[in-house]
C-alpha cells in the first residue's frame, strides 16, 4: 500500500496528463480513463465496501451488547457469591 501522499501525488500526476493532453478526448473516453485512474488509486488503498462496513458494525454492536451483559452478570456474582451456587432460573 502506498503512503497517502505518494498515492495522491501519483493520482495528481496521472490526472494532469489526462487533462493536459494535446488532443482533446471525447467525453466518454475522458470519463472512462478518469474512472480507470480513480479505480487504480482506490485499489491501492485499504478500503472496504459500505456493505462490509455495515455488517462489521452490526457484529461489533452485538458483541458489545453481549460483553456488557456478561460484565453485569460478573458484577452481580461478585456482589453476591451465593448466587453462583444456585442454578439460573431462566
58 and 32 in a common domain: no
Which grid coordinates belong to 37?
A: 485512474
* 26, 55: one domain: no
Interatomic CA distance for residues 80 and 90, integer angstroms: 18
> Structural domain tally of the chain?
2
Does any domain span residue 37?
yes
- Whether 90 is in a domain gets the answer no
Nearest CA to 1 out of 42, 57, 61 is that of 42
Pick the range with the lowest mean pLDDT from 6-10, 21-25, 64-68.
21-25
For residues 38 and 66, state if they share a domain. no
Domain coverage including residue 28: 4-43
Taking only the tens place, the pLDDT of each residue in 12-63 is 777 777 667 666 667 777 778 778 877 887 777 778 889 999 999 999 999 9
Question: Whole-model pTM?
Answer: 0.47
Amino acid at each position: 500500500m502506498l503512503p497517502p501522499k505518494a498515492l495522491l501525488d501519483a493520482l495528481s500526476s496521472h490526472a494532469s496528463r489526462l487533462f493536459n493532453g494535446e488532443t482533446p478526448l471525447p467525453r466518454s473516453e475522458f470519463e472512462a480513463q478518469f474512472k480507470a485512474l480513480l479505480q487504480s488509486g482506490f485499489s491501492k488503498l485499504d478500503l472496504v465496501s459500505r456493505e462490509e462496513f455495515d455488517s462489521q458494525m452490526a457484529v461489533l454492536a452485538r458483541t458489545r451488547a453481549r460483553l456488557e451483559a456478561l460484565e453485569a452478570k460478573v458484577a452481580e456474582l461478585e456482589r453476591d457469591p451465593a448466587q453462583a451456587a444456585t442454578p439460573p432460573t431462566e
